[in-house]
Structure 1
Amino acid sequence: MTQPNPDRDPGPDPAPDPALRARADEVLRALVGRADAELRPDQWRAIEALVVGRRRALVVQRTGWGKSAVYFVATALLRAKGAGPTVIVSPLLSLMRNQVESARRAGINAETINSANVTEWDDVAARVADGSTDVLLVSPERLTNPGFRDEVLPRLAATTGLLVVDEAHCISDWGHDFRPDYRRIRTLLEDLPAGTPVLATTATANARVTADVAEQLAGTRHAATGDVLVLRGTLDRTSLHLAVRQLGDHAAQLAWLEANLPRFEGSGIVYCLTVAAAEQTAERLRAAGLAVRAYTGQTEPAERLQCEADLVANRVKALVATSALGMGFDKPDLGFVVHLGAPPSPIAYYQQVGRAGRATDRADVVLLPGRDDAAIWDWFASQAFPDEASVRATLDVLASSDAPMSTAALEPRIDLRRSRLEMMLKVLDVDGAVTRVRGGWRATGQPWSYDAERYARVAETRRAEQAAIREYAAGDRCRMAFLRAALDDPALGEHPTWTCGRCDVCLGGSRDVLPDDEAVARARAQVEVPGVEIASRRQWPPQMSALEVPLSGRIPEAERAEPGRAVGRLDGIAFGRALRELFAPDPDGVPRDGELPSPLRRPALDVLDAWGPDVDGVVLVRSASRPTLVEHLATGVARHLQVPVVGVVSPGPGASRHDVNSAQRLATVHGRLRLALGEGALAGLPGRSVLLVDDRVDSGWTMTVAARALRLAGASAVLPFALAVG
């Protein structure tokens, strides 16, 4: 298919209709609550293409430009002409509440179908059918739900008056936030009746992503690629004052936050790359007296809503968040965005900082790069689409089954973590190799090919994006000019020497305050408090019988480990770097072994002293890759606690993998671990408690199985202790 030119003139506009334009401005004024509001030229051009031309359009415009106004105004005009309801596919429906309220001010009735209101689906569908609902919002995940796909989606496709794909860059696997569920939208596009207008919107798409989305938007039945109207505007945001501050470590970053957050106007967001960093940063800032809350993918839905409400109402100075707080969040007066660690691409960075300064004259945007950024990027990249062998194995398992298989049933048979398995199944579903039905997944028998060349090109694109964000952080070019160039801003090409005049490069510095040595030392003392909990496993994974492991259901309390302690998390802000360096293999990929490094000895003892475990002996988990490290740790711990080493849990022959799912890991551990107690220890073990020492806890199954063996041998309590969690 011919690649679309995002900047080509799609042809002459329809003949002007003054009455329609006047009505459009009336709807806009009701929508935004301002009597002087008027549509931007490109807003009207997109609306006219949808309402009059019944075309497909892609709008790539900066955050705050008014993309939602395009689809709400178009909805009002189309409904007045007798069209069916608008269907909006958006990844974060909970964050569109304010838009729904605005739509109602304009007389537009909007409703949602999502996983939280399944019992209301029939009623909502009935209101859509009888014409009382103007806008229906659905999440992309709903498109793959069998009940929705088979029963609701066909009726929607037949009656939709306008289809809107919000955050459309998610369609493209070249984009910074590709989501497999979005690929189902291509099927929905093909099922629409001819002449159904379609609008795709995004604030973050470079030329490659724009071309890819436009091609998918065109489809194969109803529109030629060149017939897609692509409107791309300038990405400059005059309110944003960009800066980069290079600081030595996490302690210096925390001290910087303590000094500068109170100086920033209003409230804002502090982005972190990992859940642990967000939670620990929020904890430290609260201890320093700042009103902040953590917001991550692990935050409960109700708490998320409360966090968002607190930020909107300025009841907190900041949310310390991962990328879970991103697309769709709307606070026009957001005063600042700070990043502790760089996102893996300039596009992702622009998307997140675009939340700030939409209705303010100034918003401060500061990047604090971390020394661990590249390692974190590499970990997330490792979670990409699995290799061909894993895909073929999954297809073979499904093909050999007479009945649909749930993800839980598949997991013991496939050596992938659940998140990667689910993502792979969604991609295979769209590719036609599997289908999701009631009860799970089924192979279709359709031929499928592994596009290794495309995956390699995507991986190379990711590496180029990582190099670009490093250049942004280290460079001496105007920050906004750099971001605009990275996103292929068409307006920048007309002014190649343009500079913003607002960033730290243009001004020769920024107005932030550097913390003094005392403040950094104080922050370091707070950060370097060792100790995190090791949670005890309480439930065996399902379907273990498929792996010939006779374990199921809840773990009896008499066979369970107690909660334990570790020095730190591998992704934490305190000892994460030292622990990652300890467990990093050498250049040839061989695990490093040796005595516990001196910088980690005192923290390990500090954890024990603060915890105070009351134990009668130590049992070590012998490591096949780091035997010296674990033995040195266990003997040192035993000496410090003044108790003997009474036993060893040793791995049997065979390879052990950690990059597999929970069931596979448990099966490996269950089949390999052997408990050996010292002479006289068995007689003294009943009624005694032991400290179970390992170097690292990942899935937790090694500790769980070893603790079970010790409890069955008579131990009254087993308390796990390790250097690292994660």
Structure 2
Amino acid sequence: MKEHAKEYLKIALNNPLASFRDGQWESIEQLLAKNRVLVVQRTGWGKSMVYFLATKLLREQGAGPTLLISPLLSLMRNQLEAAERIGVTARTINSTNNDDWPQIQSDLAANLVDVLLISPERLANNDFRQGILANMVSNIGLFVVDEAHCISDWGHDFRPDYRRIVRVLQAIPSNVPVLATTATANNRVVNDVKSQLGENIILQRGSLVRKSLKLQNINMPSPAARMAWLVQTVPALPGSGIIYTLTQRDAERVTEWLQINNIDARAYHAGISDRGDGSSIKEEREQQLLNNEIKVLVATVALGMGFDKPDLGFVIHFQRPASVVHYYQQVGRAGRAVDEAYGILLCGEEDDSIADYFIRSAFPPQQHISLILRALDDSDAGFSVPQLQQVLNLRKNQIEKTIKFLTVEYPSPITKIGTKWQVTAAADSYHVDQVYIDEITGIRHLEQQQMRDYMSHPGCLMAFLQSALDDPNPTDCGQCKNCNPALLLNEAYDDALANRAGLFLRRSYQPIPPRKQWPASNMFNQSPLGGYKIPMEQQAREGRALSLWRDAGWGRLVARGKYQDSRFCDELVNACVEMINVWSPDPAPEWVTCIPSLIHPKLVPDFAARLADALGLPFIPCIEKALANRQQKEMENNYQQVRNLDGAFHITDQCRDGQCLLVDDIIDSGWTFTVASALLGQAGCTAVYPMALALNRPRME
């Protein structure tokens, strides 16, 4: 049987000299014996070959199809090509191919599908569970959970839908072999996965060391310094590689900076949408990197698990990841099939605040859970998510995150009937397990500290990672900066280039797109506005924000002016003049006004008047605050934000016609500008250009 499998391996890899790596055949053999196996092996070891070869051999024995659950369907194309070479037919069911579901269901019934690939989120879909999964459960030949650390409550990424997998396992026959695979599991995670998949699961664990990888840590707090270092260093690195950032914003910004400096770079993150014709921009960029058509892909964690490019020459982290498991998963992309590859970890001043934000937002707070359950309990027929936004002051993503969390609880206190959510009998006794949440939050903070320790570790860096992931045999690599300083990259950067990067950060002007419709019809009772679509003559023109709130560049100076100095400095006035000259709105503004505030009555008018003077335009404070409404930053969704502005402003007789520059300090949702612009348009202003000192991007829905 082993030799038979080896022939398939050669065909799959298109390599007549291919042979099994340590542990591959042993894992397949256990699956053929109908056992449960947990494989913990380094990235690039070949975990996909285990489940595809096992599928082929089990199918030849008359077994049913394999059900493969993976969060990375879009990143498995090269693995699927290998499967096709040995005659394994794989099909995928996802949200983009609903029209194909009936045919796939028919092919499954006809035993024409060898592997069905789904994401864990698909298990939350009623149509899939009832129409396909229910008919497949009794005939599954092999059950595979890819990236199985996500099953664990202690895994490095809280994915609620993974908790549904255990329920599927309970429904399938006990003699169905089960394979769980991961490259990032310490002993705590392994034990947790075993407790959920069965204590009798066989652990197949190998060494995590990657001998070709040269690790180096560089403490470089300033973003401008790191950007200068990248421009100097990346062109000389071998092959092509990945630069990881913690946020989508930084992925875009670092990409633009590299491109300006003639480095062929592309951005990659979850916020990149498909084209209008349905083609995937992310897939195109993956392929460009795989084919060495670009030097670097600047990516978030969206490009992590499952991406396989054996000749990747370097992985650089622009910021420090939140945990060792995150870091090893990502840096392990490099050096799989080359003699030399670099893994460089840069450390920035913003790292802790970003990590803290992700830790805080991992679980929905008890307050959100209570508000949603109470609202659903008080309703006659339940609420859809848009309806919940109207009755609750919560953001859409806060509502959706809380609902997802509640749906994977067992028994769930809510259920969906049609488009509306309703409470179940379990809601009466439901209480969130705060002890459980606090324990996981504590683990996250310990992981964060472990990464700080890694940054300053004086010994072998690879051995540190191995120990942190409970590799049974950590050994010095001889390749990292601490083992062999002669191999390190130059950590110096050019001051002039860093100054240019600083100017680039300060000129990262943010567009403010105009709103074209209200969240709902008849939003206003006190303001002379109405309807659903905003009339063209009342719509703002595209505006600009000088910076991102508290960001490198101008964002921190804006925060200091608002909360420390109670006055925005002249340097910000000059920066806005420069931005307006670059922006060059057409037709140009003829006068300046501003958004009033009862809390800080002088702050924005003072700045707007000085800006108007610098532009040589009149300042006309024609907008008055008509009522003391709540601060917009307290309103959490579009509906509540607009309702809060009903009757808030009055346009005085000073208002002029012509083009107006409308100034505010911070733009949160954009609705304040939208309402004020509509009122100015009604009063005869022919064009309104919103301009803010800073954009608080997370609030822009």
Shift of the 582–315 alpha-carbon distance from structure 1 to 2, 3 Å rule, reads farther
Given that 1:268 and 1:319 are in contact with CA atoms closer than 8 Å, whether structure 2 keeps it comes out as yes
In structure 2, the partner of 1:473 is: 455
Per the TM alignment, residue 624 of structure 1 is displaced from its structure 2 partner at its CA by 5.0
For residues 546-598 of structure 1, the C-alpha deviation after alignment (integer angstroms, 9 at most, x for no partner) is: 99998663322222111111111237554345446666xxxxxxx54611145
Shift of the 343–715 alpha-carbon distance from structure 1 to 2, 3 Å rule, reads same
The 1-side partners of 2:519 and 2:564 are apart by: 32
Given that 1:47 and 1:70 are in contact with CA atoms closer than 8 Å, whether structure 2 keeps it comes out as yes
Given that 1:530 and 1:606 are in contact with CA atoms closer than 8 Å, whether structure 2 keeps it comes out as no
Shift of the 537–545 alpha-carbon distance from structure 1 to 2, 3 Å rule, reads closer
For residues 103-144 of structure 1, the C-alpha deviation after alignment (integer angstroms, 9 at most, x for no partner) is: 011121111111111100111111112111101111112111
Given that 1:412 and 1:547 are in contact with CA atoms closer than 8 Å, whether structure 2 keeps it comes out as no
Q: Given the alignment of the two structures, is residue 460 of structure 1 paired with residue 442 of structure 2, yes or no?
A: yes
Q: Given the alignment of the two structures, is residue 526 of structure 1 paired with residue 507 of structure 2, yes or no?
A: no
In structure 2, the partner of 1:16 is: none
For residues 289-308 of structure 1, the C-alpha deviation after alignment (integer angstroms, 9 at most, x for no partner) is: 11111112111231111111
The 2-side partners of 1:579 and 1:165 are apart by: 48
Q: Given the alignment of the two structures, is residue 615 of structure 1 paired with residue 592 of structure 2, yes or no?
A: no
Q: Given the alignment of the two structures, is residue 123 of structure 1 paired with residue 97 of structure 2, yes or no?
A: no
In structure 1, the partner of 2:329 is: 351
In structure 1, the partner of 2:252 is: 279
Q: Equivalences for 1:201-220 in 2 at 5 Å? A: 201-218=181-198
Given that 1:84 and 1:161 are in contact with CA atoms closer than 8 Å, whether structure 2 keeps it comes out as yes
User: Which shifted more, 136-145 or 551-560?
Assistant: 551-560
For residues 205-250 of structure 1, the C-alpha deviation after alignment (integer angstroms, 9 at most, x for no partner) is: 22222222222222xxxxxx2x111222221111211111223522
TM-score by length of 2: 0.92
In structure 1, the partner of 2:699 is: none
User: Which shifted more, 574-583 or 59-68?
Assistant: 574-583
Q: Equivalences for 1:388-399 in 2 at 5 Å? A: 388-399=366-377
Q: Equivalences for 1:496-511 in 2 at 5 Å? A: 498-508=475-485, 510-511=488-489
Per the TM alignment, residue 428 of structure 1 is displaced from its structure 2 partner at its CA by 0.8
Given that 2:523 and 2:642 are in contact with CA atoms closer than 8 Å, whether structure 1 keeps it comes out as no
Q: Given the alignment of the two structures, is residue 652 of structure 1 paired with residue 627 of structure 2, yes or no?
A: yes
Given that 2:526 and 2:646 are in contact with CA atoms closer than 8 Å, whether structure 1 keeps it comes out as no
Matched position secondary structure for 2:685? coil
Per the TM alignment, residue 440 of structure 1 is displaced from its structure 2 partner at its CA by 3.9
Given that 2:522 and 2:532 are in contact with CA atoms closer than 8 Å, whether structure 1 keeps it comes out as no
The 2-side partners of 1:625 and 1:134 are apart by: 65
Shift of the 167–44 alpha-carbon distance from structure 1 to 2, 3 Å rule, reads same
Structure 2 residues not aligned, in runs of 5+: 275-279, 697-701
Per the TM alignment, residue 475 of structure 1 is displaced from its structure 2 partner at its CA by 2.9
The 2-side partners of 1:633 and 1:461 are apart by: 46
In structure 1, the partner of 2:18 is: 37
Q: Given the alignment of the two structures, is residue 50 of structure 1 paired with residue 23 of structure 2, yes or no?
A: no
The 1-side partners of 2:684 and 2:665 are apart by: 24
Matched position secondary structure for 1:692? strand
Letter in 2 for 1:560: Q
Given that 2:268 and 2:300 are in contact with CA atoms closer than 8 Å, whether structure 1 keeps it comes out as yes
Letter in 2 for 1:504: K
The 2-side partners of 1:251 and 1:640 are apart by: 29
The 1-side partners of 2:601 and 2:150 are apart by: 45
Matched position secondary structure for 1:716? strand
Q: Equivalences for 1:416-565 in 2 at 5 Å? A: 416-431=394-409, 432-446=412-426, 447-492=429-474, 498-508=475-485, 510-512=488-490, 514-542=492-520, 553-565=532-544
In structure 1, the partner of 2:67 is: 87
Q: Equivalences for 1:342-421 in 2 at 5 Å? A: 342-403=320-381, 405-421=383-399
Shift of the 293–580 alpha-carbon distance from structure 1 to 2, 3 Å rule, reads farther
Q: Identify which of 662, 669, 691 aligns with 2:637.
A: 662
The 1-side partners of 2:626 and 2:508 are apart by: 29
Shift of the 531–545 alpha-carbon distance from structure 1 to 2, 3 Å rule, reads closer
Structure 1 residues not aligned, in runs of 5+: 1-19, 219-224, 493-497, 584-590
Letter in 1 for 2:194: A
For residues 310-369 of structure 1, the C-alpha deviation after alignment (integer angstroms, 9 at most, x for no partner) is: 111111001111111112112111111111111111211111111111111111111111
In structure 2, the partner of 1:586 is: none
In structure 1, the partner of 2:567 is: 595
The 2-side partners of 1:203 and 1:135 are apart by: 22
In structure 1, the partner of 2:262 is: 289
Given that 1:259 and 1:513 are in contact with CA atoms closer than 8 Å, whether structure 2 keeps it comes out as no
The 1-side partners of 2:690 and 2:193 are apart by: 50
Q: Identify which of 596, 602, 611 aligns with 1:637.
A: 611
Per the TM alignment, residue 403 of structure 1 is displaced from its structure 2 partner at its CA by 3.8
Given that 2:141 and 2:176 are in contact with CA atoms closer than 8 Å, whether structure 1 keeps it comes out as yes
Shift of the 526–390 alpha-carbon distance from structure 1 to 2, 3 Å rule, reads closer
User: Which shifted more, 569-578 or 412-421?
Assistant: 569-578
Letter in 2 for 1:51: L
Shift of the 535–523 alpha-carbon distance from structure 1 to 2, 3 Å rule, reads same
Letter in 2 for 1:40: R
Per the TM alignment, residue 156 of structure 1 is displaced from its structure 2 partner at its CA by 2.1
In structure 1, the partner of 2:277 is: none
Shift of the 369–659 alpha-carbon distance from structure 1 to 2, 3 Å rule, reads farther
Shift of the 455–488 alpha-carbon distance from structure 1 to 2, 3 Å rule, reads same
In structure 1, the partner of 2:49 is: 69
Shift of the 175–602 alpha-carbon distance from structure 1 to 2, 3 Å rule, reads farther
The 2-side partners of 1:427 and 1:676 are apart by: 45
Per the TM alignment, residue 37 of structure 1 is displaced from its structure 2 partner at its CA by 2.5
Q: Equivalences for 1:298-317 in 2 at 5 Å? A: 298-301=271-274, 302-317=280-295
Root-mean-square deviation (Å):
2.4
Per the TM alignment, residue 477 of structure 1 is displaced from its structure 2 partner at its CA by 2.7
Q: Identify which of 239, 257, 263 aligns with 2:230.
A: 257
Matched position secondary structure for 1:245? strand
The 1-side partners of 2:604 and 2:629 are apart by: 20
Per the TM alignment, residue 91 of structure 1 is displaced from its structure 2 partner at its CA by 0.9
Per the TM alignment, residue 84 of structure 1 is displaced from its structure 2 partner at its CA by 0.5
The 2-side partners of 1:718 and 1:308 are apart by: 41
For residues 136-163 of structure 1, the C-alpha deviation after alignment (integer angstroms, 9 at most, x for no partner) is: 1111121111211222111122221111
Matched position secondary structure for 1:63? coil
User: Which shifted more, 198-207 or 596-605?
Assistant: 596-605
Letter in 2 for 1:723: L
Shift of the 675–612 alpha-carbon distance from structure 1 to 2, 3 Å rule, reads farther
Count the aligned residue pairs: 682
For residues 70-90 of structure 1, the C-alpha deviation after alignment (integer angstroms, 9 at most, x for no partner) is: 111111111111110001111
Letter in 1 for 2:69: V
The 2-side partners of 1:490 and 1:293 are apart by: 38
The 1-side partners of 2:523 and 2:166 are apart by: 39
The 2-side partners of 1:260 and 1:511 are apart by: 8
Taking only the aligned residue pairs, the percentage that are identical comes to 40
Q: Identify which of 171, 180, 187 aligns with 1:200.
A: 180
Per the TM alignment, residue 721 of structure 1 is displaced from its structure 2 partner at its CA by 0.8
Per the TM alignment, residue 472 of structure 1 is displaced from its structure 2 partner at its CA by 1.6
Matched position secondary structure for 2:97? helix
Letter in 2 for 1:34: N
Matched position secondary structure for 1:645? coil
TM-score by length of 1: 0.89
In structure 1, the partner of 2:688 is: 718
Given that 1:417 and 1:659 are in contact with CA atoms closer than 8 Å, whether structure 2 keeps it comes out as no
Matched position secondary structure for 1:568? strand
The 1-side partners of 2:524 and 2:416 are apart by: 22
The 1-side partners of 2:45 and 2:79 are apart by: 14
Shift of the 461–579 alpha-carbon distance from structure 1 to 2, 3 Å rule, reads farther
Given that 1:55 and 1:197 are in contact with CA atoms closer than 8 Å, whether structure 2 keeps it comes out as yes
